[in-house]
Structure 1
Amino acid sequence: MSTKTTPKQRRQLANLGPIEQIRAGQMPRRLVQLLAGLALYGFSWHWSYVARWAQPPGTC
């Protein structure tokens, strides 16, 4: 008994320009991701800055 298997179809990415990407409907999600990433970056930078200045002199 042999079974035929069909090859999986590969997904093709759309060739969109910058304006078409914005109009594709992903802008709110992308803005949330951008703002969350910037907030996390700022948070981590702030605490690394505070930690450096909280050390006793001569240990940095």
Structure 2
Amino acid sequence: MTTACDEKVIELKPISSCRREVEVAMVEMLVSLQKRGWEAAELALALADASEDLVMLIATKRLRPN
């Protein structure tokens, strides 16, 4: 998501359809988890850690020959 700040207004613009869908799902998940008592900062850190783990797994995974 890109942001553009103008005085007190922040405009959010999706980067791609995939990114947009991921962000919508992520926000829904985070709202749900906050309702269950988790703090936003703790959720953000956990999400970042899990995302990094997934990226590393994908980056190091060997492709199977067809």
- The two structures have a TM-score, normalised by structure 1, of 0.40
Higher relative contact order (CA 8 A, sep 6+): 2
Greater percentage in strand: 2
Greater percentage in helix: 2
> Whose radius of gyration is greater, 1 or 2?
1
- The two structures have a TM-score, normalised by structure 2, of 0.37
